[in-house]
Structure 1
């Protein structure tokens, strides 16, 4: 028996995997001083010249930019440039691990406090992405260390740190009302969601991605430590496996339902597509945010026990793809274009409520978003014994209305709704990248 529709996994890519041989048998259907860090801002070139990992570990190499991928057949570079036209962590080929955190500005914190913290965060973030400790004076036994130390000896792991601002930050607390990005506002109520306020919202967000989970956590932990007295943690999520590819040079990963996820995702190396669908353009009246993007996050719980008891044919109909290969039910290979008009026995081969159909650009007037999600787990429900986990959905776009449009369709009609529930949410404006000598504080406050 099917449960009432729940909000689905919004994406513009089919989440599926195939077994072409099976098709014939399938149904048709702060106390811490920040003074010591400020000298590091704008010193990116000098730091890069040193280019040593924390604790003296040499770096393997450098990307040519935030979105650069490793040449085919070569080892992945250890670092991704912190500075550039766009923030790293968007067009960057997806790393394996995520630490995502949101913060609220503490009561009593001033505009000057927030600006100073963002300047401090810039210096710390740039150092950590280079594999270096948070900058500061070393060897003072009478003060806490400037870096918490758990990343010493680890390579940078392609760490990226991406900063965003929530709608509430642009109220009258800090004089930012006139600088609010035009499309930044809370998401409307969407079909089937059951959001927990403790997992929703935030004045700021930090997305740390890396190929080493300890490196990603270290980044967020140290930014949180530097924020004592100015910002308070709101919620945090750890992702242990990427669920999307942002480059065709990456193999398509699988989500916790066992299906390939992100087959038709935007290739972030395609500058024309990114310009039309992801980057905020010249139409935006707030010049300071042009070249940035909007980030939408959704914590989506999967009803894994229920899913695991469903027959294979129904699982494939839910997604519209074969589970084994990832091919659409109308194709043979993963990257075959789905034939949404194909019928068998008077019924669509790809069902009309299949996730791949409802999330497709063909079904949504060409609408696309860049997905960059991760799997997560919260352990076990002590009352039911069920596994708690699912998808931490992250996507970038040039207007949150893109997500809203998709989710209204998916939330109302997607067959996947029987097995998932949206329980957390966030929307943030992600500013463009920083040039040498600039920092997040001056960028936000002008």
Structure 2
């Protein structure tokens, strides 16, 4: 009688694989996953080593460069003295390492764009049932596509008591500043944007959007001593005067603001008049909305106005004389564009933000000086106002530690001060600090 087979001790015939046990299958699966994880974790290091030790030029979409441009941050990793026992114990070292790995993920930009495109396709399909005039560029995006206008826009912020309070506080600080400097004239120009402009498409889909009129009223309610210059524009003017994919106005919108500001300054008889306009030949401009919204459906070019009587300026940045092209490009055939399609073309063509820019106009008959306190909205416009003053100083409160009181104490020929910025920067704490009195007793 044959002995029954014992399955526990059964051995497969030579050449035939034995059935793997569940534990064995799990070990194989874990090993595969571990290899994939190692490849993903080593990817950033491998790309870094490849770029530093070889002459191989990797396409930007394969590296972390596109992801950095889309996020609007540098892809450089600064450990900042955290490589220590104290840094490890506090968790700062781990946080820096995590940030560094996140910035070095290969093809991060391409993955972000692909994921957003898939989500946008689903949103567009669902919108076919509702026909909303605008829709998010991906799930939870604060950037919306406006197909009828072939542009992107920022979702309006809701009106809150806190928003009104912050604007009122800035207006009060500006009023106190104007009273301390009664010998100079102080003006405020609040620039509209896609969030608050009258007729903004997205605002019609909200119950309580924060409008330009509400922001202006909040400031005017506590204005005392400075002059208000209204910046509201019609929606048609907005469509023509602001980029389709960026939060900045273009030169057409800035020139309209220049006319209003110069007229308020009493320069209406000497306004610069353009003799024509051109479109700058360059790569497509995917602005901040395109980058934040991860949407390449629309892009911009850069318009520029032509003047026959624009003075030749001497320009100083941070106290050092620079070529006037640093203020705005003049030789369109010789522009060096950054070799990445997500680069900030607005900053490349005009200029990036600095704490102090000096513009000297030697042919001006007046000795008066102007101070423009601004954010990046002034970058394409300050050259216009500079035509009316011997010297124009452009100050950005976000990039200087000096107060405006201290600056004026060093520049006695300043006749006029113009504040020019959009609402998010008006309420910035740096602006409040910039307006603080040098003498605490005057606070």
Sort the TM-score into its range (normalised by shorter chain). under 0.3
| TM-score, normalization by structure 1 | 0.26
Find the structure with the greater CA-based Rg: 2
